A and B are shown apart, each in its own frame.
Chain A
Amino acid sequence: MSAQVVTENVDLLEKFPQSVKQDDRAGYAGYIVSADHLLEVVRFIRDDMGFDYLASITGVDYLPNGLMEAVYHFYKTSGGPGLVIKTQVDREQAAIPSLVSLYPGADFQEREAWDLLGIRFDGHPDLRRILMWEGFAGHPLRKDWHEPYYEEEGKPYKSRWPEGKVYRREDKNPFHKNVDYPAGFDPDKWVPDDDSTLYASVNKISSAGGESGIKTDYVIVNMGPQHPSTHGVFRMVVALEGETIRALKPVMGYLHRNHEKIGERNTFLQNMPFTDRLDYLSSMSNNFGYALAVEKLMGIKPPERAEYLRVIMAEFTRISNHLFAIGSLLNDMGAYFTPMLYAIEERELILDIFEATAGSRIMCNYFRFGGVARDLPEGVEEKMRDLAFKRLPRKIDELDLYLTNNEIVKARGEGVGVLTPEQAIAYSASGPVLRASGVPYDIRRADPYSIYDRFDFDVAVRYHGDVYDRYLIRVDEMRQSVRIIQQALNGLPKGPIQEGKPQYLVRVPAGEAYGRVEAPKGELGFYVVSNGKANPWRYHVRAPSFVNITALETMAKGNKVADTVAILGSIDIVLGELDR
């Protein structure tokens, strides 16, 4: 069922007989490592087995067994299948050693697991809440934590279905709002968090003394959450020496929409439209990742035509996403809105295709388990051909011609916000950010899914790791996507688009699966645990924007404030996915 993680010949069991055992639960794969020896085992996994890339960290609350489990997915940047290990601890005193010292990319992911699940990571340098605010009551993803609008563990709710009545949930709340407070709480005694821990964490780093060795006072500046350059509700706290950035802490959660908690109440299929709203610039890719994860659990595969349609849609999404990313990057550099208008013009044409096929411009909800929702309506294939063979190649060239050698783009981009390949891997960066730093790692090639192994395309890679290269790589990738779409359109077979009958309530056998795709912004992974019921027991999204932002401080340090805006733009974040 979930044999996606094939392990290496080097046997962890032989090497660590005391502390590692096979995960032999039905539908599970990988190893269970005891918490006391985690660091030792992971060091071996990294240094001797060569798994240099820590893709995802998350936790699962196994309430019936009283266990809290941390799940780690490792990969090699040279390609190939991954390795999954788990650590189980008592859920009442959940404490696990932090991996930040081995993989700096673990930083934010561990903070997230602490915030939402209450797993304490010992040795983490800065373990604060990340999505919710300091002072929030409880760890919301724990299975015994109930939200104010709680009704039942899983949908469909009996009160509404099949013959229930519709009522407004707020009518049942004494405040007529989505709020709840602990017993005996007194608002007059409450001291709201004044961000002192946040500022302390900025200061801790900045008080080490500048380049000159002379200790200067740093000025702390807040950018956001309402700031035109942050692409949404994102906040950065920077410590400045003059105009130079000495420390930077991202603050997020302003768009935390509780995707995972809602996802664990939803049925499997109900989650599909929610994935649209993760990275709302590329809903098709999000659908793809989730469909793959659940299909792995169910052990089904879509028919040929559906596979082709999926690839075509995903690649069109990549182009439209990169157009938008380049447009907004240029906005951030000061080319106020002109390149953006050109980029959006092309994007609109792609959205027309989505609207005609899926019914919605940006919230496509197009993929189904074992297929896609609708076939192409009449005339759409011609439109796609026209775009892929004629219009888009020309327009990408045009963009290239006007922007790539533009003096300002070069001046603002070259040598700014450099991320070395070693750093990029260590920070678990993915997608264009990783490849612009000279690491040719593309999941479509490194660990092919769907039918990507049939197409002829190059993995775009650039070597300077600066803002300029992160711009260039998006132009390269659009060209490659056009190539893939052309081949897919030429090979598009006739036939059914759905395996079996479309079902509302799918049967998903118990087990776990990690489905990952190369989304426009990087590795998008869905970790889904099923216990055989109608709702996922655990539903975790490994969002590329969220993990990529871990490297922001490293990129920004030593640059000017104004450059941070360009650096952030070059990472291409989307808040729906960053905060989930």
Chain B
Amino acid sequence: MNEGLNKPEYEIPPEMKHSVAITTIDRIYNWSRRSSIWPMMFGLACCAIEMICTAASRFDLARFGMEVMRPSPRQSDLMLVSGTVTKKMIPQIVRLYNQMPEPKYVVAMGACASGGGPFKEGYNVVSGVDNYIPVDVYIPGCPPTPQALLNGLITLQKKIDTQSIRDVRWYKKGTSETIPVPVLGPDIMDPREYDLLRQYTFQKLNPENINQPSVAEQEKGS
């Protein structure tokens, strides 16, 4: 049981090996978190089917302590973005992310969630959920096989192992940052980008500005 928990520098007499562990706070903190990650029950598209298969009979997510899927964001630690993120859905996804308590992690499962995937050029498709929320692990594949998903989750566990209670963001002073919810306008609008947006639509309105450097070029220069 204390495998992975014990700090190897400390010798424990063999007869006590099963009942005693000597460890650091960071280790026990991370060990318990990484072994009971509760993912949010949240399926977006085809990848969600492979996620269900991963959780089910053959691949059995319970081996990693992750089988407790919670439909409510307030009880979950991990948002598994399993599928195509659309513009119509992204406000809800950001809202769900904001509702998750710290510590929270995001895994982008599949090509769509990572970068738009096969539907990238679609007018209602967001090219990757990381346009709006921070992602911890990306899993390639369309869809990633259950083995690939498991590998991604193990990668997440490894990431958790490297964190230290001293500098994790959720023990810092102040509240954690909420991400402004995108707005459905004539196209999806990110409130953080309104200045750029105004500049762009103004330039588009006045064709005489066309000879001036475009917004994109200005961006590059700055």
Contact = CB atoms under 8 A, between A and B. Distances in A.
Contacts of B135: none
A180 interface: yes
Interface stretch (B22-30, B114-122, B149-157, B160-168): B114-122
Contact of A225 (B45, B92, B125, B196): B92
Interface stretch (A76-84, A339-347, A530-538): A339-347
| Residue in B56, B88, B116, B194 with the greatest tally of chain A CB atoms within 10 Å | B88
CB-CB nearest 6 A-B residue pairs: A258-B122, A137-B186, A280-B46, A183-B204, A184-B205, A147-B123
Q: How large is the interface on A (under 10, 10 to 19, 20 to 34, 35 or more residues)?
A: 35 or more
A254 B127 contact: no
5 contacts: A174-B216, A181-B187, A228-B41, A257-B122, A341-B57
Contacts of A576: 45-46
A185 B205 CA distance: 9
B39 interface: no
A257 B126 CA distance: 10
Nearest to B218: A174
B217 to A, nearest CB: 9
Interface stretch (B1-9, B10-18, B47-55, B170-178): B47-55
Interface in B45-83: 45-46, 48-50, 52-53, 56-58, 71, 73, 83
Contacts of A254: 86, 88-89, 92
Contacts of B122: 147, 178, 257-259, 261-262
Interface string B121-149: 11111110001000000000011010000
B32 interface: no
A261 B123 contact: yes
B52 A233 contact: no
Interface in A157-192: 169-170, 172-175, 177-188, 190, 192
Contact of A187 (B48, B84, B118, B197): B197
Nearest to A277: B46
Contacts of A228: 41, 71
Contacts of B219: 174
B92 A178 contact: no
Contact of B201 (A185, A232, A362): A185
Contact of B119 (A181, A183, A253, A257): A257
Interface of B: 41-46, 48-50, 52-53, 56-58, 71, 73, 83-84, 86-89, 92, 96, 116, 118-127, 131, 142-143, 145, 183-190, 193-194, 196-198, 200-202, 204-205, 214-216, 219
A54 B21 CA distance: 71
Nearest to A355: B145
Contacts of B184: 133, 135-136, 192-193
Contact of A257 (B125, B186, B189): B125
A341 B73 CA distance: 25
B86 A362 contact: no
Interface of A: 131-133, 135-137, 140, 147-149, 169-170, 172-175, 177-188, 190, 192-193, 225-228, 232-233, 253-259, 261-262, 265, 273-274, 277, 280-281, 337, 340-342, 344-345, 348, 361-363, 575-576
Contact of A132 (B120, B124, B142, B198): B124
Nearest to A188: B194
B195 to A, nearest CB: 10
A193 B183 CA distance: 10
Contacts of A337: 56
A178 B214 CA distance: 17
A192 B58 CA distance: 46
A181 B197 contact: yes
Contact of B200 (A169, A181, A262, A575): A181
Contact of A255 (B53, B86, B116, B198): B86
Contact of A190 (B73, B84, B142, B183): B183
Contacts of B143: 362-363
A274 B71 CA distance: 29
Nearest to A185: B201
B154 to A, nearest CB: 20
Nearest to A279: B46
Given A182-B186, A185-B186, A344-B53, A232 B43 contact: yes
Contacts of B41: 228
B88 A132 contact: yes
A188 B189 CA distance: 11
Contacts of A344: 52-53, 56-58
Contact of B188 (A147, A179, A262, A363): A179
